Every structure is written in C-alpha cells, then in structure tokens.
C-alpha cells in the first residue's frame, strides 16, 4: 500500500519545522541565503513552499515571544534541554496559535502532534500536546475556527 500523499500545507509545515530545527542548531545572520540553500534541496520549486516560508519568517521574527511562552508553560523542564526537534515543532505551532489568526488553534495542535509522531520519539507527543493545550487555554479566540482579524 502506498503512503498517503501529504497535503500541500502539511508539506510546508514539514519544511518549516525542518528549517527551524536546522536554524536552532546553527543560527545564521543571512536567513535569505539559508532559505535559498534549504529550498534548493527540495523536490518541488521553492514557490510551492510559500506557506512554509511565511511560517519560517514569522516564527523567527517572533522567536523571543514564542520562546517566552514555551518557557512559561514547560513546567519542570529546563528550556535548554528540550530536544531541538521538539522545540522546532513547538515554535512552529506556538507561532501559529499566537500570531496566525487564520489558522484554528486545534489545527496547529493536530499538525504539531502529527509532526512529533513522524519526527520525534513517542514521549514527545504528550509533552508537545500538554504545552499546546495550555497555549490554547490562554488564547482569546475560538479554538476550532479561524479569525478574520
């Protein structure tokens, strides 16, 4: 049986998470050059990853706010000891939940859980879900619908 084809948005989120993972290990001052290099290695043209690129730029631009939120909710966890792959997934999802009103928070949570199942270990799912559920509880908007503002 063939593996199901990933949706366009899922592929973009995978690419965004992969870039954020690499960026967390080796931060550079030239994001544009890094993006060019990163997308050169992909099967599809860079233009097809525009949603992912929006997420990358947004998550990096707001990384201080996103990381502060993660730190505040990661009780009994030393932020520096969070696995880099889990941190990339969290940064992506928390950015979406806090700043992308066009994406329902439950969609961001479900996507993050799916990413953790594919790219992290079995325990990561519970940790990521716990943090993101707490982010959702703190949001001042519906969790199942997108907002227009």
Q: Decide if pLDDT at 29 tops 90.
A: no
How far, in Å, CA of 21 to CA of 83, rounded? 10
pLDDT tier at 114 (50, 70, 90 boundaries)? Answer: very high
130 phi, psi to nearest 5 deg = -60, -45
Task: Give domain status of residue 120, yes or no.
Answer: yes
3-state helix, strand, coil in the chain (%, to 5): 70, 0, 30
Helices (H), 44-104: 50-61, 63-73, 84-99
Task: Give domain status of residue 91, yes or no.
Answer: yes
Q: Provide the domain limits for residue 89.
A: 8-138
Q: Decide if pLDDT at 5 tops 90.
A: no
Look-up of token digits 């201080």: 64
Task: Give domain status of residue 147, yes or no.
Answer: no
**Number of domains the chain is built from:** 1
How far, in Å, CA of 65 to CA of 80, rounded? 16
Task: Give domain status of residue 33, yes or no.
Answer: yes
Backbone angle region of 76, left / alpha / beta, with phi > 0 → left and psi within -120 to 50 → alpha: left
Task: Give domain status of residue 145, yes or no.
Answer: no
The pLDDT, as a whole number, for residue 6 is: 64
- For every residue of 25-51, DSSP letters joined together read HS--S-HHHHHHHHHHTSSS-GGGGHH
CATH number at residue 96: 1.10.940.10
């Amino acid at each position: 049986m063939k593996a199901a084809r990933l949706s366009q948005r899922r592929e973009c989120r995978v690419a965004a998470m992969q870039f954020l993972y690499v960026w967390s290990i080796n931060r550079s001052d030239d994001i544009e050059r890094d993006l060019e290099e990163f997308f050169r290695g992909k099967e599809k043209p860079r233009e097809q990853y525009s949603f992912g690129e929006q997420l990358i730029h947004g998550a990096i631009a707001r990384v201080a706010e996103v990381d502060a939120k993660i730190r505040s909710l990661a009780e009994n966890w030393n932020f520096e000891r969070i696995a880099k792959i889990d941190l990339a997934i969290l940064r992506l999802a928390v950015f979406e939940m806090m700043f992308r009103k066009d994406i329902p928070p439950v969609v961001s949570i479900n996507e993050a859980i799916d990413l953790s199942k594919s790219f992290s270990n079995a325990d990561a799912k519970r940790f990521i879900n716990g943090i993101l559920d707490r982010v959702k509880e703190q949001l001042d908007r519906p969790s199942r619908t997108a907002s227009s503002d």
